[in-house]
Amino acid sequence: MASSSDKEVKEVPGSYGLPIIGAVLDRFDYFVVEGAETFFKNRIEKYKSTVFRVNMPPGPPLFPDPRVIILLDAKSFPILFDLSKVEKKNVFTGVYMPSTNFTGGYRVLSYLDPSEENHSKLKTFCFHVLKTNAAKWFPEFERATGELWAKVDKQFSETGKAEFDSENLQMCFNFLCRAVLDRDPAAPGPASLGTKGPSYVVKWIGLQLAPIANTGVLPKILEEVTIHAVPLPFLLVRGDYDKVYNFFWTYGKAALDAAELQFGLKRDEACHNLVFNICFNTFGGMFVLYPSIIRFIAEAGKELHAHLAQEVRGAIKENEGLNPRALESMALLRSTVYEVLRIDPPVPFQYARAKEDLVVESHDGRYAVKKGELLGGYQPFATRDPKVFENPEEFLPRRFMGEEGEKLLKYLLWSNGPETDDTSAHNKQCAGKDFVVMVSRLLVAQLFLHYDSFEIDQSSTSKVVFTSLHQATS
């Protein structure tokens, strides 16, 4: 059988339909009738291709051009990272970019292409913040998770069950503020956020993403004709955002001084970027990813729990504490976190615009793309590609262990690039790529320092609720 590289270049299959009507119908199917996974599966079957044209939300009448060439396999997806062929300007959220009012009037780093002058300055500033606070990651995470488990235990002892998600929000926010700003968000002071910081940030993120996501706040049909049909104004969360910004402005002096003096950034622009990087990208990713980690490990059962507990406690004993050396030695834990990132990535979409006429190659065909066309990839299909991953829909905690497992890491794409690549000031891979993996591994390590095993309510799909907690016995 001939490889796809030997095949003729074809037109991308699919249709955008009639102007306006086609986009509205696609959006209705996506949000109301099918949902994302079924929406894409049905069109793969219809066009007999993992590359096709489709309208992506939000679309007309009040949003920009919704036309996208969608990529749904591991072979076509990586072109979204090839900056010699594609541009990443203003495509962080796809066909729709929220108003810059949400970020102080600035296009923050996530919306910049590496060719833009400010990109390298802002990304290097991100690296600086990560590096200068590195000594605080482990102790502050231990402190924050200790508070989390205490609240979970108290709730469980009182009611026989405990919700993880709401306590996780506060834990993540406390950890990041203490580690980056050296300030507890609830500490008394002129810019104190009390315990409301997470709710302020969640609302601010929610309004930006509402046109392209199901919020669950309203019935789907009502969301379709309201939340997905119009851009929601910053005015609705201006007061909340101003409080968060003021907290970062007041207590982020060291980082903001460096932004001005070392990187030549405007102080207010640096602060808006710091808020976005910490609150939208990092906090937003953590509060989505952590419940997913808990859920998959819970569903895997007690045998995995026993092996993880043994590995974590053995590594800590051997290395005299939970330190970077101990964490690095936990191969099963590392693979488990990678497997969650593979099967349920916290950011499901990536987008890029063609810089030139080019050819996109999938497993089964080669397709012509014109300069200026928008490409979009739904990552769960690429990281569950059956031509790359055996039993792709199954959660296999040991998948990335050993020599063969290591080879699969180049197909793990959660960070806007392969896990085997390094983030730099000159690409669009997540600045906190290694940090996110580290603190996710720390979560699992801290979990099994506190518990031998646990169970969750399997009937609840919207939140993680512990129904059984077995305290650590050794």
Distance CA 369, CA 356 (A): 8
d(CA 471, CA 450): 6
- Per the annotation, binding residues for heme are 430
DSSP state of 232: P
Alpha-carbon distance 318 to 322, whole Å? 10
3-state DSSP assignment of residue 109: helix
Report the sign of the C-alpha dihedral through residues 24, 29, 32, 35, in that order: negative
b/e string for 358-395 if b means 16 or more Cβ within 10 A?
bebbbbebbbebeeebbbbbbbbbbbbbeebbeebeeb
Sign of CA dihedral 429, 437, 133, 255: positive
Return the exposure string of 224-259: e unless at least 16 CB atoms fall within 10 Å of the residue's CB, then b: beebbbebbebeebeebbebbbebbbebbeebbebb
Task: Report yes or no: 289 and 295 within 8 Å, Cβ to Cβ.
Answer: no
Among the listed residues 210, 202, 200, the one whose alpha carbon sits nearest the alpha carbon of residue 233: 210
**Which residues line the annotated binding site?**
430
Instruction: Find where tokens 């905690």 sit.
Output: 397
